[in-house]
């Protein structure tokens, strides 16, 4: 037996349940890719020719413009906020510490509807100026291009991705770096440009790339503003023209764009390897800001909280007041129950698969092992429209096979039921659960597992007795995060929900599509408030943990 085989030997043990869960997760992610790959060779319809000759250039231009502009704007806002929150003490800092994360609870499509209500002709802002000062702002808002509105919406709701990663990077830096920069002269602006920015750009760029992936995935905002992005084009080809082949080809092109974004992420990740991360022995001491600088910082933070969270929330509350009488309908109740059930089922499946995959990855090393684990996390990068097409193609085939072998089963058992939607949620949000479980395992390391095994327990016995109790917090946080993400999801729900069934997200979308924006209030608030509760809970948990550590 060769050296390679000898290295694999500890795995005599190894084709076990954990490896099976991981291999299954990997295959599930692979399936939609394989289904789509078939589309490359499918014959093209008439519509594809038209799209290719007349529309494709616009799709590329609009999608890239939207993703790149949002990436840049969230980079600037996120970095500025992370910088002032990490280096300065100012009035209201504790408040902003909590509230700057809350825009994460607002799905961009809900923010888009809210802003339309807020700034539209009959909205609060224009009505106020008209009634109080006899000022007509209508032409001003009408003249702003739809792309700019979309970029605004994405920026104010997605900047926390950049803010969070940049702050985490700044927390790891030693005060000595910035103190030396100041002592060497040039002032605070030079310190930011010459020391701060080069240190934190990889983290901020990683956040901005996540934002770009979110923009590429978006359907709600683009369709509301009538933008010609790839996602709206896929929907138009599929539902408008009934041309699945064109939709598949567009999905493949979108996937190619995502591939370039992932290459950028890889380049940024490689740049991060050169980061010098100091120990926490000399953490940054906050400098008290006073006067104009303090006013500027407070204004910046207040703007981010107001634009990303308070404004959409207040608009929704205002609409709820207007639509209160007819808000509680049986349809909404059914949508709520359905959303909660599929979200719970998908969350459970994601967490089981993620835990199995992470545990297999930490126990069994090797290149193949890394490939399986990383491959399983690709689902988050696949835009929902692409994923939906891949999944639906697969499940239609699966139904055809099933009907031959099990004729007594209902017709289109997979493709007409909730299974397909739950499966799609699992692939899309697997990475979220995976990262939380991975962080949990990283905290405990492998020593407890090794101790347990030398005391006679098997890998699985060790998992239930030792690992599981120790990562329970990560599992709870991960479950909550996946659940909230599924609650907010729109494109997959629109494409894959069973006939005559709605989720909270699709209910909001349908109301907005039918121009009854007030009616979006209650389902939107259900989504926003669940997200807000989760974020506040997580923050209080983190504070308790930090207090506990410093107490020790």
- Candidates 222, 223, 231, 452; binder of other proteins (CB under 8 A) is 452
Given the rule CB under 8 A, which of 5-13, 136-144, 492-500, 524-532 is the region that contacts other proteins? 5-13
7 binds other proteins (CB under 8 A): yes
Name the one range near other proteins by CB under 8 A: 139-147, 252-260, 446-454, 519-527: 446-454
CA dihedral sign of residues 421, 422, 424, 429: positive
549 touches other proteins by CB under 8 A: no
Shortest reach from residue 16's CB to other proteins, in Å: 11
The piece of 4-12, 55-63, 188-196, 224-232 that touches other proteins (CB under 8 A) is 4-12
Q: Is 288 helix (H, G, I), strand (E, B) or coil?
A: strand
**Which residue's CB is nearer to other proteins, number 291 or number 469?**
469
* Residue 516: HSE in the Cβ half-sphere, 13 Å Cα cutoff: 14
Structural contact between residues 200 and 115, judged by C-beta atoms closer than 8 angstroms: no
Choose one: 25-33, 53-61, 352-360, 449-457; the region binding other proteins (CB under 8 A).
Answer: 449-457
User: Please, what is the minimum distance in Å from the beta carbon of residue 442 to other proteins?
Assistant: 16
Contacting range for other proteins; rule: CB under 8 A; set: 145-153, 262-270, 463-471, 531-539: 463-471
Classify burial at 226, counting beta carbons within 10 Å of its beta carbon; exposed 0-12, middle 13-18, buried 19 or more. Answer: exposed
Cα–Cα distance measured from residue 502 to residue 330, given in angstroms and rounded to the nearest whole number:
12
- Output the smallest distance, CB 202 to other proteins, in A: 24
Q: Which of 137, 453, 501, 538 forms a contact with other proteins (CB under 8 A)?
A: 453
Task: Provide φ and ψ at 287, rounded to 5°.
Answer: -100, 135
Give me the half-sphere count of Cα atoms (radius 13 Å) on the Cβ side of residue 82: 29
The C-alpha atoms of residue 177 and residue 324 are separated, in whole angstroms, by: 56
Radius of gyration in angstroms for the set of CA atoms belonging to the chain, rounded to a whole number: 25
Q: Out of 187, 226, 456, 551, which residue is the one contacting other proteins (CB under 8 A)? A: 456
Among positions 91, 371, 409, 450, the unique one binding other proteins when judged by CB under 8 A: 450
Which tokens in the block code for residue 371? 């490939």
Among 366, 375, 417, 498, binds other proteins (CB under 8 A): 366
- In this structure, the number of other CB atoms found within 10 A of the CB of residue 184 comes to 11
Q: Residue 89 pairs with which residues in a beta bridge?
A: 288
- Contact window for other proteins (CB under 8 A) among 100-108, 156-164, 176-184, 452-460: 452-460
Cross-strand bridge partners of residue 288: 89
What DSSP letter does each residue of 422-476 carry, written as one string? HHHHHHHHHHHHHHHHHHHHHHH-SHHHHHHHHTT--HHHHIIIIIHHHTHHHHH
Report residue 231 as tokens: 């996602």
Nearer to other proteins, 347 or 462 (CB): 462
For other proteins (CB under 8 A), the number of binding residues is 25
Give the integer Cα–Cα distance in Å for 253 and 64. Answer: 12
Residue 365 is a binding residue for other proteins (CB under 8 A): yes
Q: Is residue 197 near other proteins by the rule CB under 8 A?
A: no
Q: Would you count residue 132 as binding other proteins (CB under 8 A)? A: no
Interface residue with other proteins, options 110, 466, 474, 521 (CB under 8 A): 466
d(CA 375, CA 257): 18
User: Is there binding between residue 374 and other proteins (CB under 8 A)?
Assistant: no
Q: How far apart are CA 481 and CA 531, in angstroms?
A: 8
- Beta strands 88-89 and 287-288 are parallel
> What is the rounded (10 degree) CA torsion for 184, 186, 188, 189?
-140
The C-alpha atoms of residue 390 and residue 252 are separated, in whole angstroms, by 10
Closer by beta carbon to other proteins, 409 or else 468: 468
Q: Which is nearer to other proteins, 319 or 463 (CB)?
A: 463
Kindly tell me which of 188 and 453 has the beta carbon lying closer to other proteins. 453
Of 150-158, 178-186, 415-423, 456-464, the window that binds other proteins (rule: CB under 8 A) is 456-464
To the nearest whole angstrom, how small is the minimum distance from the Cβ of residue 447 to other proteins?
4
Local structure of residue 108 (DSSP, 8 states): H
Q: Is 9 in the site for other proteins (CB under 8 A)?
A: yes
Nearest by Cα to 444 from 468, 477, 480: 468
Which of 295, 451, 516, 537 is in the footprint of other proteins by CB under 8 A?
A: 451
User: Considering only residues 498-537, where is the footprint of other proteins by CB under 8 A?
Assistant: none
Q: What is the closest distance, in whole angstroms, from the C-beta atom of residue 161 to other proteins in the complex?
A: 32
* Binding segment toward other proteins, per CB under 8 A, in 20-28, 140-148, 233-241, 464-472: 464-472
**76, 295, 300, 278: which is closest to 178 by C-alpha?**
278
Binding mask 470-489 for other proteins (x = CB under 8 A): x-------------------
Q: Should residue 54 be labelled a site residue for other proteins when binding is judged by CB under 8 A?
A: no
447 in contact with other proteins (CB under 8 A): yes
Q: Which is nearer to other proteins, 10 or 138 (CB)?
A: 10
How near is the Cβ of 479 to other proteins at its closest, in Å? 19
d(CA 36, CA 61): 23
The correct pick among 187, 226, 291, 469 for binding other proteins (CB under 8 A) is 469
Beta bridge partners of 287: 88
Per rule CB under 8 A, is residue 283 in the interface with other proteins?
no
Rounded distance between C-alpha atoms, residue 296 and residue 289, angstroms: 10
Contact 267, 205 (CB under 8 A): no
* CA dist., res. 129 & res. 262, Å (int): 46
Give residues in contact with other proteins (CB under 8 A).
1, 3, 6-7, 9-10, 12-13, 365-366, 447-448, 450-458, 465-466, 469-470
């Amino acid at each position: 037996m060769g050296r390679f085989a000898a290295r694999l030997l500890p795995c005599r043990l190894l084709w076990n349940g954990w490896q099976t869960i991981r291999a299954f997760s990997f295959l599930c992610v692979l399936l939609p890719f394989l289904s789509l790959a078939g589309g490359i060779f499918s014959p093209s319809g008439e519509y594809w020719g038209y799209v290719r000759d007349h529309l494709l250039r616009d799709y590329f231009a609009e999608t890239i413009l939207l993703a790149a502009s949002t990436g840049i704007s969230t980079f600037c806002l996120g970095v500025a906020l992370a910088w002032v929150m990490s280096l300065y003490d100012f009035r209201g800092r504790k408040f902003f510490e909590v509230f700057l994360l809350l825009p994460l609870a607002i799905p961009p499509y809900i923010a888009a509807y809210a802003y339309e209500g807020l700034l539209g002709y009959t909205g609060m802002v224009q009505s106020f100026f008209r009634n109080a000062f006899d000022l007509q702002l209508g032409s001003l808002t009408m003249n702003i291009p739809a792309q700019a509105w979309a970029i605004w919406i994405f920026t104010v709701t997605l900047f926390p991705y950049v803010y969070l990663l940049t702050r985490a990077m700044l927390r790891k830096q030693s005060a000595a770096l910035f103190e030396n920069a100041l002592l060497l002269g040039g002032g605070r602006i030079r310190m930011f440009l010459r020391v701060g920015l080069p240190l934190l750009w990889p983290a901020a760029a990683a956040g901005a790339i996540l934002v770009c992936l979110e923009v590429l995935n978006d359907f709600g905002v683009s369709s509301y503003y009538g933008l010609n992005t790839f996602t709206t084009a896929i929907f138009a080809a599929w539902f408008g023209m009934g041309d699945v082949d064109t939709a598949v080809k567009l999905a493949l092109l979108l996937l190619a764009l995502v591939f370039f974004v992932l290459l950028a992420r890889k380049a940024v990740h490689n740049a991060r390897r050169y980061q010098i991360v100091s120990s926490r022995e000399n953490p940054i001491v906050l400098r008290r800001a006073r006067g104009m600088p303090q006013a500027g910082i407070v204004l910046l933070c207040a703007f981010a909280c107001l634009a990303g969270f308070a404004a959409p929330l207040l608009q929704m509350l205002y609409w709820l007041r207007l639509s209160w009488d007819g808000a509680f309908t049986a349809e909404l109740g059914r949508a709520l129950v359905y959303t909660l059930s599929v979200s719970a089922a998908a969350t459970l499946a994601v967490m089981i698969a993620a835990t199995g995959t992470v545990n297999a990855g930490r126990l069994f090393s090797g290149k193949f092992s890394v490939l399986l684990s990383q491959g399983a996390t690709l689902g988050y990068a696949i835009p929902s429209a692409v994923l939906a097409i891949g999944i639906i193609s697969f499940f239609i085939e699966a139904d055809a096979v099933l009907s031959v072998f099990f004729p007594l089963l209902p017709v289109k058992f997979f493709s007409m039921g909730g299974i397909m939607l739950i499966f799609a949620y699992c692939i899309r949000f697997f990475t979220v659960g995976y990262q939380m479980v991975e962080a949990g395992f990283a905290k405990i390391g492998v020593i407890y597992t090794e101790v347990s095994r030398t005391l006679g327990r098997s890998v699985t016995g060790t998992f239930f007795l030792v690992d599981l109790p120790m990562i329970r917090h990560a599992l709870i946080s991960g479950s909550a995060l996946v659940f909230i993400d599924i609650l907010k999801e729109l494109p997959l729900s629109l494409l894959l929900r069973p006939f005559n069934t709605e989720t909270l997200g699709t209910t909001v979308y349908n109301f907005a599509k039918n121009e009854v924006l007030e009616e979006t209030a209650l389902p939107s608030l259900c989504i926003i408030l669940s997200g807000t509760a989760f974020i506040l809970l997580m923050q209080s948990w983190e504070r308790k943990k930090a207090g506990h550590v410093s107490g020790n």
